[in-house]
Amino acid sequence: MKPTRKTIKCPTCRKEGDWFEGKYGPFCSHRCKLVDLGKWFGEELRISEPLRPEHLQNPEATPAGEPPGGPEGGENDQTS
């Protein structure tokens, strides 16, 4: 019995294929890999802040797309 290969979508162009088998995995091509790298350099993609232990205690309480601690930036926000 042949093992089934899982196809994935290229993170850049969304074309489906077995990209981890190629030399650019998970990207389908060198071009898509460079486009993604350019997005990181241009800060289109970024990691907003390091995770803290309280982020992992109740992940369901944080709405999708909103930073842990609420839209104001968390409990340490001193805007008063």
Residue 73, pLDDT > 60, answer no
The share of the chain scoring above pLDDT 90, in percent, equals 31
The contacts of residue 20 (CB under 8 Å, 6+ apart) are 8, 26
pLDDT band at 56 (very low <50, low <70, confident <90, very high): confident
Q: Is the pTM of this model over 0.95?
A: no
Q: Quick one: CATH architecture of 8-41? A: 2-Layer Sandwich (3.30)
Q: For the chain, what are the domain ranges?
A: 8-41
Q: Compute the 3-state secondary structure of the chain and give helix, strand, coil in percent, each to the nearest 5.
A: 30, 5, 65
Comparing 80 with 47, the larger pLDDT belongs to 47
Rounded CA separation 78/68 (Å): 16
**Residue 26, burial from CB neighbour count under 10 angstroms (0-12, 13-18, 19+):** middle
